[in-house]
Amino acid sequence: MTKTFQDLGRILDKINGKGYPAYKELQGQYQENHFTLSIDYVQGDPFASPSRIRVIVPGDKGGFPKDIYRTPYQRKAVVDFLSRTVAKNIYRFYDRVKGSGKSGLLTIGHCGQEILERNYIVINPNRVEARLEVGLPAAGRRILGNEAKEIFLDALPKIVEASLFWASISQENLYAQVKLAEDQHFLREELKKRKLAAFIANGSILPRESGISERPLLKGAVPFQSPKEYEIELRLPNYGPIKGMGIPEGVTLIVGGGFHGKSTLLKALELGIYDHIAGDGREYLVTRENAVKIKAENGRKVEKVNISSFINNLPMGQDTVRFSTENASGSTSQAANIIEALEVGAELLLIDEDTSATNFMIRDSRMQRLVQKEKEPITPFIDKVRTLYKEKGVSTILVIGGSGDYFEVADHVIMMDEYTPKDVTQKAKEIIKIMDNQRKFEGVLPIRENSPRILLKSTFPQDKRGVKIKPRGIHTITYNKTEIDLSHLEQLIDPNQTNAICFIIHFIMEKVVNDKLTLPQVVEKVYGEISSKGLDIVSPYQGHPGNMALPRKHEIAAVLNRFRLLKIK
């Protein structure tokens, strides 16, 4: 039976000063004038994970017009906007009460510069629902009932009234975000139609505020301006005409001196797989959604990956068609990263020579003379990058500062000069003509992709207590006592993406893996479930399913590939 907020106040008065477990009496639903509060999970200790609550406004009272969340990308924009609105109003109406542990916490899931598919808000004709976390107040482990009343009876109704009703929010700003989402969706469709790897609008601000902040650099940043040779004009549905640099498919080099903006440009392209909020500076910068950043990753696990296109004839006869290691080198890890990316559908590789293995990237003519090919197991990337595009349709954007040999294989060469891009393709071709290169081509074999890699159920062992899969920040997951290091997955950018991956691994373990499906098929099946039923489907929780932001298939596969218990047939 649904209780009232008066009942909630009476319960808090009754348990005030009691031991913390008495908070369990709060679980259930409470009706206020215009919304329902559902307390779904009550923490057992003030130092434990916060309690989970939902506030639910009936659709007719919320009053949101259906036309603003008609398509998936519009809905994503609306959920993002309302999540940020709730967060802003928590700060506006609630001064955190004191207490031990997580006492007084009141929060909605994290929102950064990117607009991701999140499950913090549910909106449909029937209801608008916000999922929040609350740290129930205590002094030591004694309940602070009056402080809890301040959260539930004072602050929360004000936050709900200001955030989840059409009449209360900034309708103009919400429509602006939905229109931005429509324009960003249009840009992504245009990339495919025009055979572009990426588009960067003139006036974009690429540098960030600092190494620990993703907000735009406001003072001293050079607005992006396309070279005339790559400048195109598009007409967006809402913004109208917009000009910028269209980077064509193929092999593109980004060159230039140190500290002139090469890596800044590549970093912006890495995150162009996501939409960005207004004012970010990268709102109209889009990259193909299946672009993958490739790095060397010393020490990572590799399980039965076909790296023979790049590395063959290893000493001691080690198999590179089904290559496995617990401790990959720079070159073997980079080769594995490429093949694994192709396995889940990557069509654009983003590479910075600074984070690559030198011997994987290049073998110059002098080294070729000194060390004969039959003594060198590595076929460098320079001899495969064109084959990747011609045979597989996979483009590459590559930051190069030290090897002009790559001029030979490039379709386009862009030089960053004081954060301004210049087309130097013709100049690079002239240098090729006047400077004889004695380097020999070594990439005669085709690109070999993986044979079907079946994900085995034995990948996911359980002990007597079952399995605990937990995130630690963005770049670490623990599976019981096994740690999965995600620090090299630079396109994983939100802690709730990592949280979602933990749920997804558990979902795979319980409901998908069957010793018949390949690793990509497993990932596709999970994604199909999420697409048809929403992110909540992977959560084991009732009511409030936990804060999640949708990761890409590429990051889900990358996590599985780095799991040290991974078993492949």
Q: What residues pair up with 196 in beta bridges, in sequence order?
A: 248
Alpha helices in 94-214 (DSSP H): 145-149, 156-163, 171-193
Burial call 379-397: b when 16+ CB within 10 Å, e when fewer: bbbbbbbbbbbeeeebbbb
Weakest mean pLDDT among 90-99, 288-297, 308-317, 472-481: 308-317
pLDDT band at 401 (very low <50, low <70, confident <90, very high): confident
How buried is residue 211: exposed, middle or buried, by Cβ count under 10 Å (0-12/13-18/19+)?
exposed
What is the domain range of residue 139?
3-169
545 inside domain: yes
The Cα-based distances of 230 to 148, 225, 243, 423, 550 in angstroms read: 59, 10, 10, 8, 33
Choose the final residue of a domain: 169, 204, 236.
169
Checking 4-9 for CB contacts under 8 A at 24+ apart, the result is 4/30, 4/31, 4/32, 5/30, 5/31, 5/32, 5/37, 5/152, 5/153, 5/157, 8/37, 8/152, 8/153, 9/149, 9/153
Weakest mean pLDDT among 170-179, 221-230, 276-285, 365-374: 365-374
Placement of tokens 């630690």 in the chain: 472
Asked if 395 and 483 sit in the same domain, the reply is: no
Per residue in 43-73, pLDDT (tens digit) is: 999 999 999 999 999 999 999 999 999 999 9
Q: Are strands 469-471 and 231-236 parallel, antiparallel or unpaired?
A: unpaired
Asked if 372 and 408 sit in the same domain, the reply is: yes
Question: Tell me, what's the pLDDT at 547?
Answer: 96
| Helix-helix angle 72-93:156-163, to 10 degrees | 140
Write out the two tokens for 485.
């290091």
148 inside domain: yes
Three-state secondary structure call for residue 455:
strand
Asked if 154 and 33 sit in the same domain, the reply is: yes
pLDDT band at 33 (very low <50, low <70, confident <90, very high): confident
The dihedral through the CA atoms of 317, 323, 328, 331 has a sign that is positive
510 inside domain: yes
Per residue in 117-138, pLDDT (tens digit) is: 999 999 999 999 999 999 999 9
Distance between CA 255 and CA 113 in Å, rounded? 28
380 inside domain: yes
DSSP assignment letter at 356: S
479 inside domain: yes
Question: Tell me, what's the pLDDT at 442?
Answer: 87
Q: How many CB atoms lie within 10 A of CB 254?
A: 24
pLDDT band at 497 (very low <50, low <70, confident <90, very high): very high
Q: Is the pLDDT of residue 266 over 80?
A: yes
Cβ atoms of residues 468 and 393 within 8 Å: no
Q: What residues pair up with 518 in beta bridges, in sequence order?
A: 454
Question: Tell me, what's the pLDDT at 435?
Answer: 86
pLDDT band at 384 (very low <50, low <70, confident <90, very high): very high
Region 504-532: what's the mean pLDDT?
97
The closest alpha carbon to 562, from 478, 447, 441, belongs to 478
pLDDT band at 226 (very low <50, low <70, confident <90, very high): very high
Question: Tell me, what's the pLDDT at 194?
Answer: 97
Residues ≥6 apart with Cβ < 8 Å to 204: 223, 224, 244, 268, 281, 282, 283, 284, 285
Please give the helix or strand (H or E) that residue 560 lies within, else none. Answer: helix 553-562
Question: Tell me, what's the pLDDT at 125?
Answer: 96
pLDDT band at 441 (very low <50, low <70, confident <90, very high): confident
The closest alpha carbon to 30, from 169, 151, 166, belongs to 151
271 inside domain: no
Region 362-378: what's the mean pLDDT?
84
Distance between CA 196 and CA 306 in Å, rounded? 29
70 inside domain: yes
DSSP letters, 52-91, are EEEEEEEHHHH---GGGGSSHHHHHHHHHHHHHHHHHHHH
Question: Tell me, what's the pLDDT at 481?
Answer: 93
Asked if 490 and 409 sit in the same domain, the reply is: no
Q: What residues pair up with 509 in beta bridges, in sequence order?
A: none
Per residue in 288-319, pLDDT (tens digit) is: 999 999 999 999 999 999 999 999 888 777 88
- Domain total of the chain: 3
Choose the final residue of a domain: 125, 154, 169.
169
Choose the final residue of a domain: 117, 141, 169.
169
Asked if 422 and 463 sit in the same domain, the reply is: no
Asked if 73 and 129 sit in the same domain, the reply is: yes
Asked if 419 and 487 sit in the same domain, the reply is: no
Distance between CA 420 and CA 553 in Å, rounded? 33
Asked if 13 and 103 sit in the same domain, the reply is: yes
Average pLDDT, the chain: 95
Asked if 9 and 120 sit in the same domain, the reply is: yes
Burial call 123-146: b when 16+ CB within 10 Å, e when fewer: beeebbbbbbbbbbbbeeebbbbe
Asked if 500 and 375 sit in the same domain, the reply is: no
Asked if 118 and 10 sit in the same domain, the reply is: yes
Region 220-239: what's the mean pLDDT?
96
DSSP assignment letter at 549: B
Question: Tell me, what's the pLDDT at 316?
Answer: 73
186 inside domain: no
Asked if 476 and 355 sit in the same domain, the reply is: no
Question: Tell me, what's the pLDDT at 91?
Answer: 96
Question: Tell me, what's the pLDDT at 267?
Answer: 96
Three-state secondary structure call for residue 232:
strand
Write out the two tokens for 390.
């011609």
Placement of tokens 């140190």 in the chain: 258
